[in-house]
């Protein structure tokens, strides 16, 4: 037993030394480009004490890795990721970070129909990159993190709360940037098997095979596959997901590296309802879609689902052209085909195709001229591009110059499928649509948009006083061209938008001691309007009138932000920052049902100011214990009155929507190499959901617990372990965020006396309790 303890102590000490050396070597590079160039430096080998990459070296139980950039950055490592439920996604993993609010809708973390906000700015305002490529939906900006990687393959996730990296290929990052990367392949042949089950019929299987180094080539890689399924935690229906990750790495010489990866993902999920406050107060989490069909019931669960298939690939590469000049280039490609459906009723004799009468339809399964239909909303997207930059270092000066090009194509056209008297449709994917009397496919909109991005940046970093003082200045110019067409009768055929946005930024940091740093920065960022609905007209098929017109006043949202922060690393690790934002053309995304189908829109809320302070504290593992504490205070106000219906809502000085004043997390981790566990309790304060502050959701708190044990290697099974994850252990009943915000919930008189009718926001219902047990082993 003493021999095993000494061996374990030696391995931990060696790992700490290697990690510290890697951090020291990477420090200068991270100051220049902290998010774009970071990779997971922990390689799983046969010597590690766990098969899933846990080293128990990161402060706060994996919640506070060392940062050196002159900006606020928080992150998570394998020490935390590996101890969460294997069903979860990358964004859910970030809920403990200061300023990050996760509006989860299912406790397992499997659903992509959720929302994440940072400092009061939602996920449509947060740039997301994975392995150096832009990910998520290019037009709606939803991250779709289940597509990125299985949690067993995630090496790290970082969040820059206010300052996107100048070299990052993003164009919606006024709220900061989230960057994630894969684990490194193992040097030796082997792999990992993980099987999980739990409440709500949760089942998941994962298999990864590492090739090890392939002969004298120096190439190493892995391929993994997973399948998961579960019932919805409320209502009926469920979700299935299949996923493949593959990554190979070739390194040679001094600083040369090529690491291609490919991911394939297929998910099909039945949707959750998003109740109004009145519906929530009346029914709680019992307000759901119906499991049984009756004629005319558009709330039948089988009508409301989405399916999305994704292929994404990239080849992140770094080449040392000379001792002083390095080239970083990431070519990438991404393909998505999805569908999101709803339900409605058509009047056979009173229906419109655009602004043109479309009947009589003479549909089957009709009662008194009414026919129940499934609304079909399929879309196809593909994007391709490259992001490249040169880094030249001479003495105390580092100069970077880069170019990013991205091409994006999006097609989306709705249709309707007739439901029989049992609620079944001939085809839910648009292959058996309702036709007009003239033989056209009946649609509420039919849009196509092409987007091209050209961006140039230059950044210069100078170091003084024996590299203790670092000063950086950079400038980026992003040129966005969008061209949209609509084929619906009565709609505007073509809408174009061209923007060139200058983005200067400056920063400085000073290393007071090897473990103490202060920094300040000034950063600009922008976001293009979200959703194809900003450029394409949508018609109500029952009236022939536009239910949504293309926007004429949407300009890119622009932010100017400043941060001042301090970091200390040691046994106790501290990071704190003050921040201030000024916004123009603040774009607030909202969602609503149009013809029974979920649609996303942008509202121009004008100017906004946001300021506050965030902090996090984490203890380096001490007697196997690592506590963690994070928190944020936020004060966000609207600068102007909101224009509506020819009048103005008196919103000036009101609190910005979805901006809780206080939020925070308390965490505690224990890991002695065999037994392990952690606890995390998160609190989110109350949030307004209308510009007029006449409706809000109360504050809430949730807590998660992990318990596990690692066994000794037994034959081919390396470090087998059992792990139990308990999510929302108090089974808190709460609303976790707004699915769709509105200007005002109650009828109010405008500045000029007009009576402006109110409309209630819709909400995400917070995830309930779930338990997941997983068994895993390396081989």
Q: Are 682 and 664 in contact (CB under 8 A)?
A: yes
Task: Report the percentage of the chain scoring pLDDT > 90.
Answer: 80
Report the pLDDT value the prediction gives residue 227, as an integer from 0 to 100.
98
Over residues 334-349, the pLDDT tens digits come to 999 999 999 999 998 8
Distance of alpha carbon 752 from alpha carbon 761, whole angstroms = 25
Over residues 220-243, the pLDDT tens digits come to 999 999 999 999 999 999 999 999
Q: H-type helices in 498-621, by residue range?
A: none
Distance of CA 6 to the CA centre of its chain: 42
**CA angle centred on 173, ends 170 and 179, rounded to 5°:** 65
Report the pLDDT value the prediction gives residue 421, as an integer from 0 to 100.
96
Report the pLDDT value the prediction gives residue 28, as an integer from 0 to 100.
36
Report the pLDDT value the prediction gives residue 26, as an integer from 0 to 100.
35
Mean per-residue pLDDT, 66-85:
95
- Quickly state the pLDDT bin for 589 (edges 50, 70, 90): low
* Residue 405 dihedral angles phi and psi, to the nearest 5°: -130, 140
Over residues 263-311, the pLDDT tens digits come to 999 999 999 999 999 999 999 999 999 999 999 999 999 999 999 999 9
pTM of the model: 0.89
Kindly report which listed range (173-187, 390-404, 601-615) carries the lowest average pLDDT score. 601-615
Mean per-residue pLDDT, 571-585:
95
Give the chain's mean pLDDT.
Answer: 90
Mean per-residue pLDDT, 8-28:
37
Mean per-residue pLDDT, 432-454:
95
Kindly tell me if the per-residue pLDDT of 30 is higher than 60.
Answer: no
Report the pLDDT value the prediction gives residue 596, as an integer from 0 to 100.
57
Over residues 650-685, the pLDDT tens digits come to 999 999 999 999 999 999 999 999 999 999 999 999
Kindly tell me if the per-residue pLDDT of 590 is higher than 80.
Answer: no
Kindly report which listed range (256-260, 439-443, 740-744) carries the lowest average pLDDT score. 740-744
Kindly tell me if the per-residue pLDDT of 692 is higher than 90.
Answer: yes
With H, G, I as helix, E, B as strand and everything else as coil, classify residue 61: helix
Distance of alpha carbon 523 from alpha carbon 518, whole angstroms = 17
Q: Determine the number of helices (DSSP H) and then strands (DSSP E) in the chain.
A: 4, 50
Q: Are 336 and 399 in contact (CB under 8 A)?
A: no
Distance of alpha carbon 157 from alpha carbon 731, whole angstroms = 27
Over residues 40-51, the pLDDT tens digits come to 444 444 444 788
Report the pLDDT value the prediction gives residue 50, as an integer from 0 to 100.
86
Kindly tell me if the per-residue pLDDT of 649 is higher than 50.
Answer: yes
Mean per-residue pLDDT, 141-162:
92
């Amino acid at each position: 037993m003493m021999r095993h303890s000494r061996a374990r102590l030696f391995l931990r000490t060696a790992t700490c030394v290697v990690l510290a050396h890697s951090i020291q070597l990477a420090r200068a590079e991270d100051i220049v480009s902290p998010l774009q160039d970071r990779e997971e430096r922990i390689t799983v080998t046969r010597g590690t004490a766990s098969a899933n990459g846990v080293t128990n070296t990161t402060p706060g139980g994996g919640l506070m890795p060392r940062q050196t950039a002159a900006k606020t950055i928080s992150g998570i490592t394998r020490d935390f990721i590996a101890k969460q439920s294997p069903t979860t996604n990358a964004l859910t993993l970030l809920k403990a970070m200061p300023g990050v609010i996760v509006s989860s809708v299912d406790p397992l973390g499997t659903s992509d129909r959720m929302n994440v906000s940072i400092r009061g700015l939602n996920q449509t305002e947060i740039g997301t990159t994975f392995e150096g490529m832009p990910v998520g939906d290019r037009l709606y900006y939803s991250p779709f993190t289940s597509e990125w990687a299985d949690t067993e393959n995630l090496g790290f996730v970082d969040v820059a709360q206010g300052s996107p990296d100048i070299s990052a290929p993003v164009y919606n990052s006024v709220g900061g940037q989230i960057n994630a990367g894969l684990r490194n392949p193992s040097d030796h042949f082997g792999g990992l098997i993980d099987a999980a089950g739990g409440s709500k019929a949760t089942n998941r299987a994962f298999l990864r095979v590492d090739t090890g180094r392939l002969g004298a080539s120096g190439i190493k890689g892995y391929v993994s596959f997973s399948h998961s399924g579960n019932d919805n935690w409320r209502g009926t229906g469920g979700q299935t997901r299949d996923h493949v990750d593959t990554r190979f790495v070739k390194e040679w010489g001094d600083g040369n590296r090529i690491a291609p990866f490919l991911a394939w993902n297929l998910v099909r999920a039945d949707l959750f309802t998003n109740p109004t406050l009145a519906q929530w107060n009346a029914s709680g989490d019992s307000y759901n879609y119906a499991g049984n069909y009756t004629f005319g019931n558009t709330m039948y669960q089988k009508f409301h689902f989405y399916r999305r298939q994704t292929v994404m690939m990239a080849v992140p590469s770094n080449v040392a052209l000379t001792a002083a000049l390095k080239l970083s280039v990431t070519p990438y490609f991404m393909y998505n085909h999805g569908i999101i459906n709803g339900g409605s009723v058509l009047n056979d004799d009173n229906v419109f195709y655009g602004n043109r009468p479309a009947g009589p339809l003479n549909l089957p399964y009709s009662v008194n001229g009414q026919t129940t239909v499934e609304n079909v909303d399929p879309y196809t997207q593909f994007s391709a591009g490259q992001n490249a930059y040169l880094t030249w270092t001479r003495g105390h000066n580092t100069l970077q110059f880069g170019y990013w090009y991205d091409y994006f194509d999006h097609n989306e056209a709705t249709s309707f499928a007739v439901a029989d008297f049992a609620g079944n449709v001939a085809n839910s994917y648009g292959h058996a649509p309702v036709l007009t009397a003239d033989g056209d496919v009946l649609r509420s909109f039919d849009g196509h948009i092409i987007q091209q991005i050209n961006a140039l940046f230059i950044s210069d970093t100078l170091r003084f006083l024996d590299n203790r003082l670092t000063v950086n200045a950079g400038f980026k110019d992003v040129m966005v061209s969008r061209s949209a067409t609509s084929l619906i009768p009565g709609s505007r055929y073509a809408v174009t938008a061209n923007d060139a946005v200058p983005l200067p930024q400056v920063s400085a940091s000073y290393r007071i001691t090897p473990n103490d740093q202060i920094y300040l920065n000034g950063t600009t960022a922008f976001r293009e309007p979200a959703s194809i609905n900003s450029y394409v007209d949508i018609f109500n098929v029952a009236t022939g009138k536009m239910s949504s017109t293309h926007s004429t006043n949407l300009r890119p949202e622009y932010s100017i932000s400043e941060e001042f922060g301090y970091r200390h690393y040691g046994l106790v690790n501290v990071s704190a920052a003050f921040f201030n934002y000024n916004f123009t053309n603040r774009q607030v995304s909202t969602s609503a049902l149009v013809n029974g189908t979920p649609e996303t829109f942008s509202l121009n809320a004008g100017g906004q100011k946001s300021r506050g302070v965030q902090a996090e504290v984490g203890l380096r593992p001490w007697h196997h214990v690592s506590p963690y504490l994070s928190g944020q205070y936020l004060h966000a106000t609207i600068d102007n009155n909101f224009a509506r219906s020819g009048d103005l809502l008196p919103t000036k000085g009101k609190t910005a929507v979805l901006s809780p004043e206080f939020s925070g997390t308390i965490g505690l981790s224990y890991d002695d190499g065999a037994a392990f566990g952690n606890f995390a309790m998160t609190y989110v304060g109350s949030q307004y959901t209308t510009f007029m502050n006449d409706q809000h959701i109360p504050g809430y708190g949730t807590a998660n617990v992990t318990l596990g044990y690692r066994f000794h290697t037994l034959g081919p099974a390396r470090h087998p372990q059992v792990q139990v994850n308990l999510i929302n252990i108090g089974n808190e009943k709460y609303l976790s965020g707004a699915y769709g915000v509105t200007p005002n919930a109650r009828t109010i008189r405008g500045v000029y006396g007009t009576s402006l009718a109110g409309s209630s926001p819709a909400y995400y219902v917070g995830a309930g309790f779930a338990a997941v047990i997983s068994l895993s082993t390396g081989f």
